[in-house]
Structure 1
């Protein structure tokens, strides 16, 4: 396992060391230009913390860390990986853009899959299958994959909702109980929706899961489970959300598939009941025949 992967997993790291590792990963190629004092200032930590992190990574010090970081970046470039934060630039052809975006997607999916704990996915899926109601708590661009996830749950007979604004989300949280499931979505963990909803959900004993980065989990401790996404995309210095949006969608799709797999007969039965009422004119696909043929 290379040094970048070790820092992403942050196994055995203290919260301060986790923040330091995140700073180093965000710096990327620029890390080689930093002195140990400059890194300590950028990460808001002590020089001693940097030395401790190096030892946990199996390295002698900052100099060796720079060498291993450079090697990791060279391997990524040799594999044809794209810059996740700026995957295209001035004068690029459409073909170059398409190839770079594909690389971003491949990197993001691979990293997210490696970080996603499948036992947590299955635990969340089992609770969702038994829940009286499932509610999504998020804001900004994450509302779109969250809303799609709620629609998909509804399509297999699970009462799910994704309210559009924070006020409605809080009212929804006040109606929930131990027989419900809440899912918060925030890449960074800094979210007004979570800040207001999580205390209400905790007070009411609602099982709550968070989809986000390890940094988001550290900002919101004590939940029932965490579904991690790739944290390679910077919070602010990026052209737009490509990797984070895809990672969230991938996690929610994986969770939805696990829900269906856990309650397959019920899901198919509900689909069969709804098809005559929701099928568009001219379409005669039989859901039960498709499912039986798989």
Structure 2
């Protein structure tokens, strides 16, 4: 049962909890966008009432409530999951394939945007600036996006470590400490190696930012910050990871852009100056013997 249905059928609630439930059901999008104090002010209930309702729903907090609302809204209003997992058919023309993939990308971007917590993105970008070292842990296809992020940061003279082999990831985690910011990319926390990496990082008091799906992920218990990926796509039953790649690229590009904004003029000048030096060297005609 999705959360909207669960709210409609919830029994043994107080009058104030019923007021809150009715407000959520009437305008769930506004509830998702608001903070607890704003919700309390708009519905004329207390903040403790919000948390009592959360406890009755068996949820872990306000963010968990909002994520489940988001999932419920998607299941009722969006294109079926099958269209994300199997967006093309054998009879599609090239133009139809182009349009279907465009729909997948558009839906993924919109969902990632709706899931984003802007304060978390700002806080993580500030941590990136403060950290002496930035380490990104990823596996399989996500490694390509981690390396792309590494390249972007290298362009502005910020070194990012992306260990790839399982042993090197564990070694990197073992050497991490509070000066390291560890960004862990794991859609569902299914790989045993990432669990070990996160345990080591936690033991070393290295702050962890987890980029994950809205589905249950055992790695969330280690993370100080969580950034959520669009989670339409089935982990196995699909043609390709069209949606997962798009949501991860969007998130990493956003982190890079917010970081860049923190020192915009300095970093822009640094990047342009560096590429001007490279260009001059490449185009300068070397003297002949």
Counterparts of 1:151 and 1:70, CA distance in 2: 37
1:202 positional shift = 0.9
1:274 positional shift = 2.7
Report if aligned partners of 1:174, 1:200 keep a CA contact under 8 Å in 2: yes
Report if aligned partners of 2:202, 2:222 keep a CA contact under 8 Å in 1: no
Q: Which runs of 5+ in 2 are unaligned?
A: 6-26, 33-52, 285-289
Counterparts of 2:58 and 2:150, CA distance in 1: 35
Aligned equivalent of 2:58, options 3, 6, 14: 14
1:266 positional shift = 3.7
Q: How has the CA–CA distance of structure 1 residues 228 and 164 changed in structure 2, closer, same or farther, with 3 Å as cutoff?
A: same
Report if aligned partners of 2:208, 2:222 keep a CA contact under 8 Å in 1: no
1:189 positional shift = 2.1
Counterparts of 2:210 and 2:88, CA distance in 1: 31
Aligned to 1:86: 86
Are 1:253 and 2:258 matched, yes or no? no
Matches within 5 A, 1:220-231: 220-231=220-231
Aligned to 1:113: 113
Q: Which runs of 5+ in 1 are unaligned?
A: 26-56, 58-67, 284-294
Aligned to 2:215: 215
Report if aligned partners of 2:109, 2:247 keep a CA contact under 8 Å in 1: yes
Are 1:173 and 2:173 matched, yes or no? yes
Report if aligned partners of 1:105, 1:243 keep a CA contact under 8 Å in 2: yes
Counterparts of 1:173 and 1:151, CA distance in 2: 21
Counterparts of 1:163 and 1:277, CA distance in 2: 30
Report if aligned partners of 1:229, 1:247 keep a CA contact under 8 Å in 2: yes
Report if aligned partners of 1:138, 1:191 keep a CA contact under 8 Å in 2: no
Counterparts of 1:71 and 1:225, CA distance in 2: 29
1:261 positional shift = 0.5
Are 1:72 and 2:116 matched, yes or no? no
Counterparts of 1:237 and 1:220, CA distance in 2: 24
Report if aligned partners of 1:133, 1:158 keep a CA contact under 8 Å in 2: no
Report if aligned partners of 2:163, 2:169 keep a CA contact under 8 Å in 1: yes
Deviations 1:112-150 (A, max 9, x none): 010011111110100101211111111000000011111
Report if aligned partners of 1:117, 1:227 keep a CA contact under 8 Å in 2: yes
Q: What is the TM-score normalised by the length of structure 1? A: 0.69
Matches within 5 A, 1:47-196: 72=77, 76=79, 83-196=83-196
Matches within 5 A, 1:222-241: 222-241=222-241
How many residue pairs end up in the alignment?
229
Counterparts of 1:88 and 1:188, CA distance in 2: 25
Counterparts of 2:214 and 2:223, CA distance in 1: 13
Counterparts of 1:266 and 1:118, CA distance in 2: 24
Are 1:203 and 2:203 matched, yes or no? yes
